[in-house]
């Protein structure tokens, strides 16, 4: 899965669909490798598909997503970031959020040899 996808702002429905799929695929890779490595069972919560246009659904997604990041970071002994709060439609918030978020995924991939 190309981590670079996670740095890209998904500004169309098609890009969001692609971003969401690739994003969940990476979370699944992390979950799989953790289990294969030492039997650790990290949770998989519903992250895809999601609709950022529905503010209630977006908040549920952000909370579930934060929970998965917190659990993964704890497993790997990393300090994480607060990614649960962002205005998905505000590029000034999204661009730094995407960078911080993708950097966490990149670090996980390096530690777990996901490529």
The mean pLDDT of 36-46, rounded to a whole number, is 97
| Interatomic CA distance for residues 95 and 104, integer angstroms | 15
- In this prediction, residue 88 has a pLDDT band, given cuts at 50, 70 and 90, of confident
Average pLDDT over residues 20-49: 96
Question: What is the crossing angle of helices 55-76 and 91-112, to 10°?
Answer: 30
Which residue pairs from 100-108 have beta carbons closer than 8 angstroms and sit at least 24 positions apart in sequence?
101/6, 101/69, 102/3, 102/6, 102/7, 104/69, 104/72, 104/73, 104/78, 104/80, 105/3, 105/6, 105/23, 105/26, 106/3, 107/76, 107/78, 108/26, 108/30, 108/72, 108/76
What share of the chain in percent tops pLDDT 70?
98
pLDDT at 105: 97
Counting every residue, how long is the chain?
Answer: 115
Average pLDDT over residues 83-111: 93
pLDDT at 1: 59
**What pLDDT does 3 receive?**
85
pLDDT band at residue 85, thresholds of 50, 70 and 90? confident
Interatomic CA distance for residues 58 and 42, integer angstroms = 22
pLDDT in the model for residue 11:
86
Integer Cα distance of 77 and 27 in angstroms: 17
Return the domain boundaries, the chain.
3-109
Tell me the average pLDDT across 12-39: 96
């Amino acid at each position: 899965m190309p981590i670079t996808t996670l740095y890209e702002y998904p500004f169309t429905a098609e890009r969001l669909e692609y971003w969401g799929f690739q994003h969940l695929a990476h979370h699944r890779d992390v979950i799989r490798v953790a289990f294969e490595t030492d039997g650790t069972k990290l949770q998989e919560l519903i992250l895809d598909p999601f609709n950022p246009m529905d503010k209630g659904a977006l908040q549920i997604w952000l909370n579930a997503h934060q929970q998965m990041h917190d659990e993964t970071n704890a497993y790997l002994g990393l300090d994480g970031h607060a990614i649960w709060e962002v205005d998905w439609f505000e590029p000034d918030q999204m661009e730094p959020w995407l960078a911080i978020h993708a950097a966490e995924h990149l670090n996980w991939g390096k530690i777990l040899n996901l490529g």
